[in-house]
């Protein structure tokens, strides 16, 4: 079999002969099909051709995508040119990168420590105002009522404050029992005395208070003598001025202070006075 193409003939003449005499092998080696394959390889090996083929494939793929997009939507959409899209993206990127470095720094955010505890607000402590506690009133003894027992307690408390012995307390209580029956009395002769707290009135001259002491005799003012605590203190002070009063009887000691018209009247109250003094000092 001979080639009709002069070029094939030339290639056949140029190729060296092989040691094989097989005509079929020679035809497969140098025949038209091998020559054509060699030309295709030569063409594909060209760099320019490869670039052209790649460009053509890319364009075909782009056209296929556009056609698909148009086929999926009845309304035709304008296809943005590639160069314009790239230019827009470059402009956006350039705009983002063109911020001034001299701008003010953003304020630093302070993140509280997880272990830090909020400072509690100071609490306003209001001190409770305690109402003054009234002293407990003593329980009456020896047949006295509550008012009489309250006055007896004042006489005993003043004597204890002055560090007077128990006998002085009995003398003072016996005297007050005789003079006023342990009531703080005003005087009908002194209208002023009625202005102060009192538990009745008497009419023995200008005598006032628990011990019926007279302002005209220098015991004190009407206002002072109408205070049971002052009257008791005045009595104890006068008793201390009596020499040897500790060795006297209750009646004698009381008479030495009071100088009463009935000096023996105080003795009848000694027992009750002792009972009251014991109850108030227990």
Spell out the SS3 assignment of the chain. Answer: CCCCCHHHHHHHHHCCCCCCCCHHHHHHHHCHHHHHHHHHHHHHCCHHHHHHHHHHHHHHHHHHHHHHHHHHCCCCCCCCCHHHHHHHHHHHHHHHHCCCCCCCCCCCCCCCCCCCCCCCCCCCCCCCCCCCCCCCCCCCCCCCCHHHHHHHHHHHHHHHHCCCCHHHHHHHHHHHHHHHCCCCCEECCCHHHHHCCCCCEECCCCCECCCCECHHHCCCCHHHHCCHHHHHHHHHHHHHCCCCHHHCCHHHHHHHHHCCCCHHHHHHHHHHHHHHHHHHCC
pTM over 0.75: no
pLDDT of residue 65: 44
pLDDT of residue 101: 45
Q: φ, ψ for residue 78 (rounded to 5)?
A: -65, 135
Neighbours of 106 (CB within 10 A): 6
Distance CA 219, CA 210 (A): 13
pLDDT of residue 129: 75
Residue 186 bridge partners (DSSP) = 201
Distance CA 230, CA 196 (A): 14
pLDDT of residue 26: 42
Give the tens place of pLDDT for each residue, 230-280: 999 999 999 999 999 999 999 999 999 999 888 899 999 999 999 999 999
pLDDT of residue 134: 76
Distance CA 267, CA 280 (A): 21
Q: Write the CA distances from 148 to 130, 170, 177, integer angstroms.
A: 30, 15, 9
Low-confidence ranges of the chain (pLDDT < 70): 1-121, 124-125
pLDDT of residue 125: 67
Distance CA 253, CA 191 (A): 32
pLDDT of residue 9: 45
pLDDT of residue 104: 52
């Amino acid at each position: 079999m001979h080639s009709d193409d002069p070029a094939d003939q030339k290639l056949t003449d140029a190729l060296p002969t092989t040691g094989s005499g097989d005509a079929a092998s020679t035809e497969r080696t140098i025949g038209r099909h091998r020559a054509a394959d060699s030309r295709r390889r030569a063409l594909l090996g060209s760099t320019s051709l490869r670039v052209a083929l790649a460009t053509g494939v890319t364009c075909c793929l782009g056209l296929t995508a556009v056609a698909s997009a148009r086929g999926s939507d009845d309304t035709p959409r304008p296809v943005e040119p590639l160069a314009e899209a790239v230019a827009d993206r470059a402009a956006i990127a350039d705009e983002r990168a063109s911020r001034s470095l001299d701008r003010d720094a953003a304020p630093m955010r302070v993140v509280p420590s997880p272990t830090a505890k909020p400072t509690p607000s100071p609490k306003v402590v209001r001190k409770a105002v305690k109402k003054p506690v009234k002293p407990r009133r003593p329980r009456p003894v020896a047949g006295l009522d509550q008012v009489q027992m309250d006055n007896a307690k004042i006489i005993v408390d003043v004597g204890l404050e002055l560090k007077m012995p128990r006998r002085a307390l009995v003398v003072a209580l016996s005297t007050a029992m005789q003079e006023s029956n342990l009531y703080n009395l005003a005087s009908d002769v002194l209208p002023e005395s009625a202005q102060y707290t009192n538990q009745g009135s008497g009419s023995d001259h200008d005598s006032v208070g628990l011990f019926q002491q007279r302002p005209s005799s220098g015991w004190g003012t009407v206002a002072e003598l109408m205070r049971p605590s002052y009257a008791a203190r005045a009595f104890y002070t006068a008793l201390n001025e009596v020499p040897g009063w500790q060795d006297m009887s209750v009646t004698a000691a009381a008479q030495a202070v009071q100088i009463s018209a009935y000096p023996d009247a105080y003795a009848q109250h000694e027992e009750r006075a002792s009972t009251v003094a014991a109850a108030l000092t227990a």
